[in-house]
Amino acid sequence: EVQPVESGGGSVLPGGSLRLSCTASVGTFAYSDVAWYRQVIGKPCELLSTISDDGTTYYAGSVKGRFTISQDNVKKTVYLQMNNLSLEDTAVYYCAAVTDPNVAGPCQLNFGFGYWGQGTQVTVSS
């Protein structure tokens, strides 16, 4: 079992950057795929990026070229570097250790599939 904890959210101006961290407070992310999602109220949960145990990465079209996912060498922390943020990036961001990163509906409906963190708010505002 692994317990992810997100950190690094906050408020930023348009065009700014933030780095989110997803740390395994219990266990490690070894042998797990880790995914970053975001939730905007009234919209479905959006898969943003994944990183597999062997380092293979995936990015959704909405963030490709702006966001970068990475992990530390001991598989305890996964990062999401977010650059050139826009108003549309405002959301609650979640990380999760999952076997299947696909989700449906609001993020909360998927909490039973894999191990999810509590979320961190990112607000992009001028």
- The pLDDT tens digits of the residues spanning 37-75 come to 999 999 999 999 999 998 999 999 999 999 999 999 888
User: 58-62, 90-94, 101-105: which has the minimum mean pLDDT?
Assistant: 101-105
Average pLDDT over the chain, rounded to whole? 96
**CB distance 3 to 111 below 8 Å:** no
Inter-CA distances, 90 with 48, 51, 52, 71, 113, Å: 13, 22, 26, 23, 24
Q: Is the pLDDT of residue 1 over 90?
A: no
